[in-house]
Structure formats: C-alpha cells, structure tokens
Amino acid sequence: MSEAAADIAEILFDRDQIAARVQDIGREISRDYRERAPLLVSVLKGAVYFLTDLSRAVAIPAEIDFMAITSYGAARAQSGVVRLIKDLDVEITGRHVLLVEDVIDTGLTAGYLVRLLQARSPASLRICTLLDRPYRRILESLDIAYRGFEIPDRFVVGYGLDYRERYRHLPFIGTLRDDVLESAGPPL
C-alpha cells in the first residue's frame, strides 16, 4: 500500500464506481446535447480527472476549456473570497456551456462562476458536478443538472481532489484519517 493510500480512513467510491457513474453522466449529456456541441468548462485543478474521463464518455462533439480560481488557499475551509486566476481561452457568447466541477458544497464558488459565465451571454449554461455535498449548501438556488454522487459532510481526496496538493493521484475517492487532517504540515 502506498504512503498516500495509508492515510485514507475510508474509501467512499472506488475506481469502478466512479467509472460507471461517469459513463452514465456522459450518456445523459450526449442525449441532452445531441445536435449541439457543448463547451465543457472545467475548474483547475481538482476537476481535471473528472473532465478528462467525462469528455471521453460523451458521444457527441464537445470542446473543453479551463478556468482557475482560488477560494481555499491551503486551508480546508472556504474563505468566502473567490479570485479568478485563469480565464477561458474561447468566447462563449451563443455557446452551450457545461460547467464541470469536482465538488459543490456551499455553492458559493459555483454561484460565482455561473454569474461570471452568464454575463457573457451563452446560449445555455448548466452545471455538472462529480460530488455534491448539500449539507453545507449556502446558495440554495444553485441548479445542478448532472451530479455523480452525494457525499457526507467530510473532507474527501482522490480522483483529482487534494489536501495540501497531495492525494490527487489516488484512483478512488476517500476520506483522510483524522490524525492526517490534524497534523497539517507544510504544503507540498
């Protein structure tokens, strides 16, 4: 067992469960966007694994683009302040945009992104998230069109999700042991 995997308290979703759910979402998107070529917009870095697998599961032409924001810093809790670090490379006016997120909990970050993208007059704008943590939702009006899994109010890592820039590479989604979270050493 790798050192990173030894830090895991519980595996919530294994590789096969994630792959099956991503395929299901890909079929839904392919059906809903047939005869339209959506632009899949991912937020770096956490959603990259999900976006990559999702783009292969979508059976229709689709483009991808990336944004980068910060709302966590090195902390585990959101600061409430969102900063845009990298904007889209393509114009989205008149495009069908699907915002692809790794996890939505309070909804503040996703709400910020929706407002930012909506101001650019896309033909449509919908949200797809791999993980939904509704117990922490502050922004109740957030409409999530596609969701992979609902998760408990626990900090999760793996499949692109990190803690202090570690654990993204794990092929599953799990929770960290409490002692790992409590011993927050310097970020890697």
Mean pLDDT of the chain: 91
Q: Is the pLDDT score of 184 beyond 90? A: no
pLDDT classification of 102: cutoffs 50, 70, 90: very high
CA nearest to 32, candidates 143, 123, 95, 126:
126
Tens of pLDDT, residues 27-84 = 999 999 999 999 999 999 999 999 999 999 999 999 999 999 886 544 445 556 788 9
Domains and CATH numbers, the chain: 17-153 (3.40.50.2020)
Q: In what order do the strands lie in the sheet with 8-13?
A: 8-13, 173-176, 156-157
Retrieve residue 16's tokens. 């096969």
Burial of 101 (0-12, 13-18, 19+ CB in 10 A): buried
Predicted local confidence at residue 72, as pLDDT: 54
User: Considering only 103-107, 129-133, 169-173, which range has the smallest mean pLDDT?
Assistant: 103-107
Could you give the residue numbers annotated as active site?
105
pTM: 0.90
Residues 6 or more apart whose CB falls under 8 angstroms from that of 25 comprise 54, 57, 128, 146, 148
